[in-house]
Chains A and B, each alone.
With several copies, the nearest count.
Chain A
Amino acid sequence: MAEGRESLVYAEAIRDAFRYLLGRHPNVFAIGQGLWSPWYVGSSMRDLDKEFGAARVIDSPVSELACTGAAIGASLCGYRPIVVHPRMDFMLLAVDQIVNQAAKWSHMFGGQAHPAVTIRAIVNRGGEQGAQHSQALHAWFAHIPGLRVVMPATARDARDLLIASVMCDDPVLYIDDRWLYETRSPASAIVETDLRQERPAVLREGSDITLVGASFSTHLISEAATQLGEAGIEAEIIDLRIINPLDAEPVVRSVERTGRLLAVDGGWQTCGLAGEVLAATCSRLDPAALKASPARISLPDAPAPTSAPLEKAYYPTVDAIVAKARRMVMGGRVAHDQA
């Protein structure tokens, strides 16, 4: 697995998790489009079909709904399948299976059966792919009770939380972002954890402002924190890691100290993840603790464009985070999001 490597690369870490799971657990299999292709899912599943056989690493017809349903069905019969959607956008054809079936199955039958299925959705943005090939709809799924939603930011989490997702008896939506595939964590041994016990991580401590993110946004806020630190502003960084069920307590505790909250998210704003962080925090916090209006940075209210200059204007940047955080720390208790 990670032996001999100095550091763990995100895409490789996912592959390590698959190798660990497929190697140890005969009841794990993967199904989805592109699993026999060298380019579909980046290098994150390279040659797994050759190592574990095409009967356990199954490339599929262009049938998102049936493949997802089939994974759910197999998970009800002793298997722990991972169904792979190379783009979250395509997975919309399967939301009935995910939301109406998998997420509700245990509850509808009074807890007698549990679809231990992992649904891997890949966010694959940029590259002028446009509106139908760029979406990050994690907020949708965080809205659904019965479905756990995991968004690893680090290579280590990409690996260990994938393993934890597959070992969990509940349906789990595991979302990875191709913009993270080259990022690195220090080398580490695999740790099998209980997904239900995993909590948000405080990646950096700071007293001036709390920055909250998940997945790629965690990298943006971490970079922003470094820049803010150079300017004398100490930002606390919280990586949510799991967005359903969402544990907002660490954010509340942090904002109680910093008095300022800025949530950053790569999805849209309305009913999105950043807004949920604000709502969950504000509703648990004495407003007197707030030194500034809580704020969020999300995508603009538009579908993804194609041309490169517009893509640049579209996605949240470290600069925008730094600028907003500075205004919040410098500006006192003024509401900054005012239209």
Chain B
Amino acid sequence: MPIAPAGLGPLSDPRCFTEPVSIAGRSHEELRADLAMMLTIRFAEEAIAELVENGEARCPCHLGIGQEAIAVGVSANLRPADRVFGAHRSHAHYLALGGDLDAMMAEVLGKDVGCSRGFGGSMHLYGGEVGFRGSVPIVAATVPIAAGAALAAKMDGNEDVAVSYFGDGAAEEGGIHESLNLAAIMALPILFVCENNLYSSHLDIGQRQPSDRIARFAEAHCIPARVVDGNDVGAVREAATALVEHARRGGGPGFLEAVTYRWRGHVGPKEDVDVGVRRSAEDLAAWKKRDPVGRLRAAMIARGDVGDEELEALADERRAAVQSAVEAARRAPYPPAAALHRAVYADRGGDIG
């Protein structure tokens, strides 16, 4: 039984949208890059799942396996001067922008060379050089911060944009609504990206909201919204590009709702079909057929873009990169205990003991 059929309709029904994605008019290079990035993300998260299982990674890790297409599609038209913010489930957001894989793995293991210097773990990622301005696990916290980054971009006048990733659960936090209003009234160059995976922790959206369509809030705030299959990288890319270009040209905020599903549990490597209040093995199995990776691969093969062999080589290469990142992370040292006080303030130079 699909969850909360009203609202999103077929978009939240896993029996729909299981065919290969449409790739008409998209170049081989672009598709290959999208696929490579989705594979990197998936393998990286599978590796993290293992690290958690074997006790090497101890920080809470929220995996987005099954949701890879969204970050990849959204990042397509972003540049380093744009400013992107994530939340607790942000490995994909970081990597899709070009964030350093080695540094992320080191961060997950709490190491000094981690992308947050070993002070964040999986839930606090930073990749300033690629425009990833931070992810933190207080739900919805970065949404107003991203709005402020958009305000800065507007003041700069360089046509940069901000991107704020959040989930369907985050839409229940009042701060998001305040941020939508602020963005609307100030015509801020921001793309709100709601990854609607129909769950917040163990509760499905039907247990938390009267409709499963989050874009209704954008519309209430007079913000143009697009709702797409979040497991179709081309659909995400096309919608995100339109909204980002609109924002760059001074058209104000845009809202992208990408409907998806996570294959793993809320936190950690398990599937949660046992503990999610209404999460069923059947739903999960159905959603796995709506796989963003598999559907792109199938489309590329069907069009004759690539053969199995090339795809295997690509996957092997991505797997090797992930493996090497894990190994480097293992070898890296932890931050020294003295580092505790290192970054409390910007510069403790002249400060009180």
Contact = CB atoms under 8 A, between A and B. Distances in A.
Given A76-B133, A90-B138, A70 B346 contact: no
A308 interface: yes
B155 A59 contact: no
A47 interface: no
A313 B110 CA distance: 14
Nearest to B109: A307
Given A69-B147, A70-B147, A101-B136, A110 B352 contact: no
A96 B176 CA distance: 13
A309 B155 CA distance: 42
A218 interface: no
Q: Give chain B's interface residue range (CB within 8 Å of chain A).
A: 35 or more
Nearest to A146: B344
Contacts of B317: none
Interface in A111-132: 111-114, 116, 127-132
Interface in A50-86: 55, 58-79, 81
A188 interface: no
A247 B353 CA distance: 9
A86 to B, nearest CB: 10
Interface stretch (B201-209, B240-248, B293-301): B201-209
B202 A37 contact: yes
B89 to A, nearest CB: 14
A111 B343 contact: yes
A73 B116 contact: no
B147 A309 contact: no
A128 B111 CA distance: 12
Given A77-B149, A110-B126, A309-B334, A61 B178 contact: yes
A52 to B, nearest CB: 13
B110 A128 contact: yes
Contacts of A55: 155
Given A74-B151, A128-B58, A306-B110, A112 B139 contact: no
A307 B124 CA distance: 12
* Chain B CB within 10 A, most for which of A65, A110, A145: A110
A63 B182 contact: yes
Contacts of A309: 110, 334-335, 337
B119 interface: yes
* Chain B CB within 10 A, most for which of A29, A247, A307: A307
Contacts of A68: 144
Nearest to B333: A309
Given A62-B170, A66-B181, A78-B152, A127 B58 contact: yes
A129 to B, nearest CB: 6
A338 to B, nearest CB: 10
Contact of B121 (A78, A111, A128, A145): A128
Interface in B153-182: 153, 155-156, 162, 169-170, 172-175, 178-179, 181-182
A78 B133 CA distance: 12
Contacts of B173: 62-64, 93
A261 B153 CA distance: 51
4 residue pairs, one from A and one from B, having the closest CB atoms: A110-B117, A73-B148, A69-B144, A307-B110
Given A62-B173, A111-B346, 17 more contacts: A39-B275, A61-B200, A66-B147, A66-B174, A66-B175, A69-B179, A72-B144, A72-B148, A73-B83, A76-B149, A100-B141, A101-B138, A101-B141, A110-B118, A131-B124, A146-B344, A339-B353
Interface of B: 58-60, 83, 85, 110-111, 114, 116-121, 123-124, 126, 128, 133-134, 136-141, 143-153, 155-156, 162, 169-170, 172-175, 178-179, 181-182, 185-186, 200-203, 207-209, 275, 277, 334-335, 337, 339-347, 349-353
13 contacts: A38-B275, A62-B200, A73-B162, A74-B151, A111-B346, A127-B58, A130-B59, A305-B339, A309-B110, A309-B334, A310-B110, A310-B118, A310-B119
